[in-house]
Amino acid sequence: MKYLLSAWTDIARQLREANHILLLTDYDGTLTPIVEHPDLANLSENTRIILQTLARQHRITLGVISGRALDDLKEKVGIKGMIYAGNHGLEIEGPGIRFTNTIAEEFRPFLRIMHYVLERTLSTVKGVFIENKGLSLSVHYRLADKDRIEEVGRIVGEVAGDAGAAGKARIVPGKKVYEVRPTVTWNKGNAIKLLMKKYGKGGRRSGLFAIYLGDDVTDEDGFKVINNYGIGLSIYVGEENRQSVAHYYLYSSIEVANFLTMLLEYIQNRVSVHVPLDEIMREQQIEMT
């Protein structure tokens, strides 16, 4: 795993040969820092302006792939012309694409029941809250007392485990969260494959350069797809992690914004018209006043 910003010269050389860039990123912990409650994870104004400008570049197709529900993700980002993939790619909307995993859709009523059961059984554990995202559930325990965390895992395992034995649900651990998902063969990696086929017809011969940034265990499937494709960047966000299959890493969401700025400036310098980022930011500030 290499530190991405120190490898920029090599990366720029690879980008030079790309016909089109598919730039995909996770949201929580990648575009925004990890916070105590998902509602508090908001884009910084600087990151929003960079994303808005990237979304207008003809050489880039930009998307966000998140465990959040699709509508929640669209509201948090709120930029036109982007791909939005919610529930780890179970539901996708973007330019020329609208996708919902039909098998997962059948599990909505069942997940509503599980949501009810988990809320009742975990109601005595302070700091735990359950998020019903339609096609999946998230049991957040970041604010729970440390001596109750094992109990949370046990309860989630018992409730979802019984359903899992019936082939209906599976548990995927993340950063201070348990994801309860329908037992369908679909993850962020499958979503990225779908998007690569959509926006890079012809495979490697199309000249599509794929980039994916993420910070959690659920992003590893996406990194594997990028690595197998062989033309692109798999980027882990956090301290260097030897357990991750990503080829590069950035330390934080701040460094992600720095990388996106470098990518934007590189793309703008490769075309005839280059609008400096500071000028774009001034225009945005004028529009907001």
Contact between residue 116 and residue 109 where contact means Cβ atoms under 8 Å apart: no
From residue 202, how far is each of 32, 58, 196 by CA, in Å?
34, 19, 10
23: nearest Cα among 69, 68, 1, 54: 54
* The length of the chain, given as a count of residues: 289
Any catalytic annotation for residue 39? no
Q: How far apart are CA 168 and CA 164, in angstroms?
A: 5
Distant-in-sequence, close-in-space partners of 6: CB < 8 Å, separation ≥ 6: none
Secondary structure of residue 68 in the 3-state scheme: coil
**Catalytic residue, candidates 26, 72, 215, 221:** 26
Identity at 162, one-letter amino acid code: D
DSSP 178-214: EEEEES-S--HHHHHHHHHHHHSTTGGGGTEEEEEEE
Residue 26's H or E segment, with its range, is none
Q: How far is CA 233 from the centre of its chain?
A: 15
Residues labelled catalytic: 26
